[in-house]
Amino acid sequence: MDPYYRFNDLNYRWISLDNWTYSKEFQIPFDISKWQKVHLIFESIDTVSEVLLNNVLIGKTNNMFRRYTFDITHVVKALNSIEVRFQSPVSYAAQQSRAHTLYQVPPNCPPSVQEGECHVNFIRKEQCSFSWDWGPAFPTLGIWEDVRIEAYNSCHLNYFTFSPIYDNSTQDWNLEIESSFDVVSSKPVSGQVIVEIPKLQTQQSYSVELQPGERIVKLFVKMNKTVTIETWWPHGHGNQTGYNMTVLFKLNKDLEIKKSAKIYFRTVELIQEPIKGSPGLSFYFKINGVPIFLKGSNWIPADSFQDRVTSDLLSLLSHSVVDANMNTLRVWGGGIYERDEFYELCDELGIMVWQDFMFACALYPTNRGFMSSVRTEVAYQIRRLKSHPSIIIWSGNNENEAALMMNWYNVDIEYMSTYVTDYVKLYVKNIREIVLAEDKTRPFITSSPTNGAESVAEGWLAKNPYDKHYGDVHFYDYFSDCWDWSIFPKARFVSEYGYQSWPSFSTLEKVSSKEDWSYNSRFAVHRQHHVSGNDEMLSQAQLHFKLPQHTDPLRLFKDTIYLTQVMQAQCVKTETEFYRRSRSEIVLGEGHTMGALYWQLNDIWQAPSWASLEYGGKWKMLHYFARHFFAPLLPVGFENEGVFFVYGVSDLHSDCNVTLTVNVHSWSSLEPVCRHRTQHFVMTAGEAVLLYQKPVSELLQRCGHCTPQSCVVSFYLSTDDKLSSSTNYHFLSSLKEAVGLQKAHITATISQQNDTFVFDLKTSAVAPFVWLDVGSIPGRFSDNGFLMTEKTRTLLFYPWGPTSKSELETSFQVTSLTDIY
């Protein structure tokens, strides 16, 4: 039975509360006597275990985020028995907490609504596996990555890592390669290292001599200056050019070790400097010397059970990132350091990665054993990941500076200095020191949110980590009206913000039964892990929409799901557009916003959450909206004190001549009431500028009998009569007050065109939030959740697997706002 089915997260909890033993007998397929050293290697092990080979204890594990290597040279035989004895992670965490007698390290337990387990901060394990406000408690235990035996003579390569380095003074690229060897021969091992990058016409040889023991070889490779190196750029800003490199170690005549890797060249700078007309400091990233606005979202583990995360799923999720015009993912600190394949996809697709270390929403112990484990973890992960150009920053933790300084856990003031000392010890004196030693190519910040350089100046912990004049902020407000842009922080960088919605019925149906299909069912309450989350969604929706009225319970549930997605999409749209239009201006000392990463991209299971992609990858309405609000060229409309403004936002690298067209539509007619087209003007590259302003009364005066309740505004940018932005819109009133809105009868004719399907739509009336759904058929539409102001519209459906016209026709349903009343 699927662990995600109904209440199985509770029914199966006994598994994580038990201890488990994995055992196996195996033969060694070679003659052991011919090898000087034999190692047993666990790429990763989850989490607390004792490993016995032939009844001999060869090692213990207590950290999910590192590789374990055990020397079995004197224990291994031709025929072997191995046992891995796992201790319950829940009981281990409780045991470690009890043993920490000097003072408490909060929080002890998650909020009861999460139905989670306690003391997760005492175990170096995926923090959200004990529950989170969007996910279940499945404290997994077992072997979740490769296990292997390696045998060798003379010497062995332990790890291999590299960093491209740009020399500002000579304006040349160089390459630093670091290799670690275990030399087991009694005499030095000597030979040659040959580094080849064929496309850069670079080949260099080095002589090496390795003394017995653990040895590190550092090579400095100068690139051929006669060949132009193409740099790696984020998605939407250029190509993701990479070069194949081989490093061949020829040692002691007969030993050859060959490593192949892809190498990319790019620089990253985090700019924190004074801004004219504003107190504080900037906080933005330059890639290859160019300021880049970071557009994207936050990544959480794609499943509670990592073995269910396939290559196809990772590919689907990462392609959905760039398909929505994003260029950044923040790998959040309560999950896992993702597998190599994830970062390789980000490299290839141009997705910048803000990489947290795995500490989140908690204080942590700093006793000797814990710190030793963390140091090994951090060094291992940096060496594994630092060659990826996609990773542009290391961040020490998620929200722990804020948790401490805003005193989330109501700690006794007399202990505050102890917690501050622990914080600095963990993130500054240990993690930061290791980052600076291992990787000089990218910035490090201690936390998110943080005041950056100001936090450093205040002793690494700022009095107000949410200060809008420094660093990054996280912002959540479920009670204020999200259509009111003035509630949002005009901050330098917003790395978390968002609103919840429910996933589609086709996603929920797979893990529920008929009795669960209502908004107030036991199942609906159980799946909601955020306090009052279900009520908050309806309260926010009710500000601008009438709640669904249907008497059929199933229809009412589906309509409510639809409305939560409408609410979420519209809220995050309004907020993101505010951040994007704030990139070039300072208003009352605030602005120059250079990043918007909403919470969150993906789901870990089928439940209400802040995600824009449902469990399995289906696009919510928000993800379709993101494709528009993250577009490289975007017109943003808003009102302020009775005046309607349109800003133009450009992420382009060059200026362009554009025309703005503003249309006013009546809710009761499919013909625009009036149109205004501006003169040509220049959209400056990488800026947000005011293009249009007009009092709403004046705008509507020219448009027959329009009132804010009876009409809606749409607008787009064009270059030489070609559409160069998608059409955006602005509601002049709440839709629950809309006058003239009629029930729209929408039909679709489906046809096939090569690998895609064409949906030709016809509507009888103007229709807001038109939602096309094909149930569980995997794929996405070219657009969805849109405002339909014309009689016809053609859309494409891109299937993610085999399907047919007849299958699509059977599954197809269309909903627009008036259908739910």
Find the catalytic residue in 117, 377, 438, 496. Answer: 496
Give, in order, the Cα–Cα distances in Å from 291 to each of 268, 270, 282, 319, 651. 10, 10, 12, 24, 10
Q: Is the bond preceding 549 in cis, omega lying within 30 degrees of 0?
A: no
Q: Which of the following is catalytic: 126, 338, 377, 399?
A: 399
Residue 629 Ramachandran class (φ > 0 left, ψ -120 to 50 alpha, else beta): alpha
The whole-angstrom separation of Cα 808 and Cα 804 is 6
Q: Where are the beta strands (DSSP E) in 469-593?
A: 473-475, 494-497, 586-587, 590-591
- With beta carbons less than 8 A apart as the criterion, state whether 358 and 651 touch: no
For residues 24 and 52, what is the distance between their CA atoms, to the nearest angstrom?
11
- Would you state the torsion angle of the CA atoms of residues 392, 397, 398, 403, taken in this order, to the nearest 10 degrees? -140
Q: 591: left (phi > 0), else alpha (psi -120 to 50), else beta?
A: left
- CA 450, 358, 365: angle at the middle one, nearest 5? 85
Specify whether the CB–CB gap between 533 and 23 falls below 8 A. no
Encoding tokens for residue 263?
């190498």
Residues 6+ apart with CB under 8 A from 135: 128, 300, 304, 529, 604, 605, 607, 609
The CA-based diameter of the chain, rounded to the nearest angstrom, is 94
Residues 6/523, Cβ–Cβ less than 8 Å: yes
> CB burial class (10 A; 0-12, 13-18, 19+) of residue 207?
exposed
Judged by DSSP in three states, 756 sits in strand
Catalytic residue flag (residue 790): no
198: Cβ–Cβ under 8 A, 6 or more apart, which residues?
Answer: 244
Contacts 24+ apart (CB under 8 A), 556-562: 556/518, 556/519, 557/505, 557/517, 557/518, 557/519, 558/505, 559/815, 559/819, 559/820, 560/502, 560/519, 561/501, 561/502, 561/503, 561/504, 561/505, 561/508, 562/771, 562/815, 562/820
CA distance 542 to 230: 52
In sequence order, the 6+-apart residues with CB closer than 8 A to the CB of 108 are: 97, 118, 119
DSSP string, 114-173: G---S-GGGSBS-GGGEEETTEEE----B--S-EEEEEESSEEEEEEEEEEEEETTTTEE
d(CA 74, CA 684): 69
Nearest to 757, CA basis, from 802, 813, 814: 802
Question: What is the 3-class SS of 9-32, one letter each residue?
Answer: HHHCCHHHHCCEEEEEEEECCCCH
Strand, helix or coil for residue 465: coil
Active site residue 496: yes
Closest CA to 145 of 39, 293, 42, 72: 42
Which of left, alpha, beta for 808 (phi over 0: left; psi -120 to 50: alpha)? alpha
The pair of structure tokens assigned to 4 is 């995600």
Q: How far apart are CA 798 and CA 778, in angstroms?
A: 9
Distance CA 211, CA 175 (A): 24
Give the integer Cα–Cα distance in Å for 180 and 218.
9
The half-sphere exposure of 5 on its side-chain side, counting CA atoms within 13 A, is 8
CB atoms within 10 A of CB 115: 16
Catalytic annotation, residues: 399, 496
